Amino acid sequence: MAAIDVRGLRKAYRDTEAVRGIDLSVDEGEVFALLGPNGAGKTTTVEILEGYRHADAGQVRVLGLDPRRDAGALRARIGIVLQSSGVEQYLTVRETLSMFSRYYERPRPVEELLELVGLREKATQRVRTLSGGQQRRLDLALGLVGDPELLFLDEPTTGFDPSARREAWQLVRDLTSLGTTVLLTTHYMEEADYLARRVAVMSAGRIVAEGRPDELANRAGSVRVRFDVPLGQEPPRGAELRGGHYEIVAEDVARTLHEVTTWALERGVSLQSLEVARPSLEDVYLELTSEAQATA
Chain residues in the site for ligand ATP (CB under 6 A):
13, 16, 18, 36, 38-44
CB of 163 to ligand ATP, least distance (A): 25
Identify which of residues 13 and 103 has a Cβ nearer to ligand ATP in the complex: 13
Identify which of residues 41 and 143 has a Cβ nearer to ligand ATP in the complex: 41
Angle, alpha carbons 173-47-63 (nearest 5°)? 60
225 in Cβ contact with 257 (< 8 Å):
yes
Identify which of residues 27 and 155 has a Cβ nearer to ligand ATP in the complex: 155
CB of 288 to ligand ATP, least distance (A): 14
Give me the torsion for CA of 256, 257, 259, 264, rounded to 10°: 140
Identify which of residues 40 and 78 has a Cβ nearer to ligand ATP in the complex: 40
CB of 263 to ligand ATP, least distance (A): 40
97 in Cβ contact with 114 (< 8 Å):
yes
CB of 205 to ligand ATP, least distance (A): 7
Identify which of residues 9 and 250 has a Cβ nearer to ligand ATP in the complex: 9
Residue 133 CA to its chain's centroid (Å): 17
Q: Among 226, 243, 227, which residue's Cα sits nearest to residue 189? A: 243
Angle, alpha carbons 113-114-115 (nearest 5°)? 90
Residue 259 to residue 238: CA distance in whole angstroms = 11
CB of 9 to ligand ATP, least distance (A): 12
